[in-house]
Amino acid sequence: MKPRLAALLLLALPFAVNADWRFEPPVALTPPPATGVFQHLDGAGRRHIAVAGDTVAVTWEDNRDGSPQVYARIRVTGTDDFTPTRQLSTGDEAYEPAIAALDDGRFLVAWEQDAAVYLRLLDADAMSPPLQLATGAGHATVAGGGNIAYTAWRERSDGRWFLRVARLAIEQGLSLRLESSVTVEADGLEAPLQFPALAAAGDALAIAWEDRRAGHTRLLTSFSANSGASFGQPVHLNEFFSNRNEYDKGSGVTRVALAGFAGDELLAAWMDKRRGGVGYGIYAALGAHGDGFGPNERVHGAEGDREPHYNPAVAGNEEGDFVVAWDDFRRGDSDLWLSRYDEDDSWGEDITPPIASGPGEQSHPSVALDERGDLHLLWIERADPNAPSRLFYGHGRRASD
Amino acid sequence: MIRPVTTLLVCLALAAGIARAAPPEAYAFLPLGEAWQSAQQQQKPMLLYFGRYGCTTCRKMHAEVFTDPDLRRRYSEDFVLAYVDTESGNRIRLANGERTTEMQFATRNRILGTPTFVFFSPEQKPLFKKAGFQSITQMNHYHGFIKGGHYREQTLADYSASQ
């Protein structure tokens, strides 16, 4: 897998290696901060922004009307403006949306609403009616492309936890139909499963999640080669660090994100406590559908290696470029940071986007890469950790343009 | 410690309490919001325990410290006990009105490792934070500092030096 990846990266060299982005002024997607109003980007897999061609769509949760609800906006091809904010959720409370780009300027959004998982298909002009997929469920995420889409979520039934993946038929216009759904493992677990991440490449599907069956949290992955009709035996994603004493079960790991790139290649990134008492680092593994994942790699650079890092998000494109984003407070307040591979096939220096750093708290990134290698960035900004917040979008044009 | 403990003041109400990770057995640890309300109503000190499911030092303390019967009695009788799972998606509401998760609450309070214990006075003021393994003697010492009302006149360091 590694040589193949290296070859891809060499082909992509002009924009994938040491290429920074020229960032346009950030776009505020929500009104100025107001007392008691908060946006959140906390969905499973941190998929809150998606790009299809020149069309960008974002989804988030906020409580502008007094209860947490899920919203979306789309930037239409050929314009600089986003469509007005649309509320996708319809219940008492809704949380943790996730979005995937399909064809023809359409996007699929999944979210949790009143302890059930819902879906909607939308474009710049309209949206499908909400489709309820599961009850007693949450932590929904989505993946797809073209006219194929998948949704994963966790649900609890008879006291046991299950991960379920649905294949969705995306038909003409904004017509959406549940085609099939399976549990990743037939037998549920007494221990919780949480925050799955999903990546799809045609009929191939990869899922990663937080799993507590071992008495502590491990990250597991499973693959399907038949459009989600069945999944293989789960395998470990994070490497095991143990044996300090009789109580040691391994380092803490949490919040895995997953992206596909260059056809069937995969990137996973997560928070990992293997460094000991300095909190979470950002670690990653590269892989491919059919091959599994390679060794774990430290993403963040030396400058931040004595600092904790949070909220990793990942993105890739068909040209072979990929990026990891996260936030940390190495400079006092929280800023966003990015990393990508350099010429040596290793993670380069941490980059902090000027539009998402500096005074105040910039946090909770979500990222997408378009086919030019342009970066599309979504984040939350607030004056201090308890202040009202505002949602921002940033477009980083590939520096080689 | 100043900023995190100050931030802790925003904690209030309640959590949706599913899938909670494991606090020590035989202790009545509550979700944060419930514990906060209970401590306010009873005007009792609160021990806020930031843990992680399967965390090595947490497991060691559960086996070697929290099993001590005198310690269990002291903390069960004199404190309201709150537990936050630092990797949980369980939702809590903060005093500023924000709904967030236990994990994000821990992040915001810059909890780097587990276990981390934050001790609150009966007036619900955060007094001090202790991270990592704490022995039975240390836990009893913290109990005595708060239960005896010494926190009103002394820092924990001064109290420790006087013992």
Q: ipTM score of the complex?
A: 0.90
> pLDDT band at A19, cuts 50/70/90?
low
Percent of chain A surpassing pLDDT 70: 94
The domain ranges of chain B are: 2-15+23-162
**Chain B residues touching A244 at Cβ < 8 A:** 56
What is the average pLDDT across A226-244? 89
**C-alpha distance from A226 to closest chain B C-alpha (Å):** 31
Question: Quick one: pLDDT at residue B143?
Answer: 98
- The tally of domains found in chain A comes to 1
Is A280:A310 a contact under the CB 8 Å cutoff? yes
Q: What is the rounded CA–CA span in Å between residue A133 and residue A98?
A: 14
Containing domain of residue A266, as a range? 2-398
Which is more confident, A216 or A99?
A99
Asked whether the beta carbons of residue B104 and residue A42 sit closer than 8 angstroms, the reply is yes
What CATH number did the domain enclosing A378 receive? 2.120.10.10
**Chain B residues touching A138 at Cβ < 8 A:** 89
Asked whether the beta carbons of residue B108 and residue A212 sit closer than 8 angstroms, the reply is no
Structure tokens, A235: 């395998």
Torsion angle in degrees (nearest 10) through CA of A47, A85, A318, A253: -10
Q: Could you give the 3-state DSSP secondary structure of residue A203? A: coil
Nearest to A195 among B21, B89, B98 (CB): B89
Q: What are phi and psi of A209, to 5 degrees?
A: -160, 165
Summarize pLDDT for B119-147 with one digit per residue, the tens.
999 999 999 999 999 999 999 999 999 99
Average pLDDT, chain A: 92
Q: Which of A195, A193, A223, A187 is nearest to A211 (CA)?
A: A193
pLDDT at A363 over 90: yes
**Crossing angle of the two packed helices B69-78 and B136-147, in degrees rounded to 10:** 30
**C-alpha distance from A200 to closest chain B C-alpha (Å):** 25
Question: Quick one: pLDDT at residue B21?
Answer: 54
Q: Is the dihedral of CA A126, A129, A130, A132 positive or negative?
A: negative
Q: What is the rounded CA–CA span in Å between residue A209 and residue A367?
A: 19
Q: Could you give the 3-state DSSP secondary structure of residue B152? A: helix
Buried b (16+ CB within 10 A) or exposed e, B54-81: bbbbbbbbbeebbebeebbebbeeebbb
Asked whether the beta carbons of residue A194 and residue B89 sit closer than 8 angstroms, the reply is yes
Find the closest chain B residue to A310 by CA distance.
B107
Asked whether the beta carbons of residue A386 and residue B57 sit closer than 8 angstroms, the reply is no
DSSP string, B53-93: TT-HHHHHHHHHTTT-HHHHHHHHHH-EEEEEETT---EEE
**C-alpha distance from A92 to closest chain B C-alpha (Å):** 14
What is the average pLDDT across A304-322? 95
Q: What is the rounded CA–CA span in Å between residue A12 and residue A48?
A: 26
Is A62:A39 a contact under the CB 8 Å cutoff? yes
Is A382:A390 a contact under the CB 8 Å cutoff? yes
Q: The domain B2-15+23-162: what is its CATH number?
A: 3.40.30.10
Asked whether the beta carbons of residue A247 and residue B63 sit closer than 8 angstroms, the reply is yes
Which is more confident, B11 or A53?
A53
Summarize pLDDT for B94-121 with one digit per residue, the tens.
888 899 999 999 999 999 999 999 999 9
What is the average pLDDT across B77-88? 96
Which is more confident, A53 or A155?
A155
Find the closest chain A residue to B97 by CA distance.
A36
Nearest to B56 among A95, A138, A244 (CB): A244
Average pLDDT, chain B: 88
Single-letter residue type at A280: Y
**C-alpha distance from A320 to closest chain B C-alpha (Å):** 32
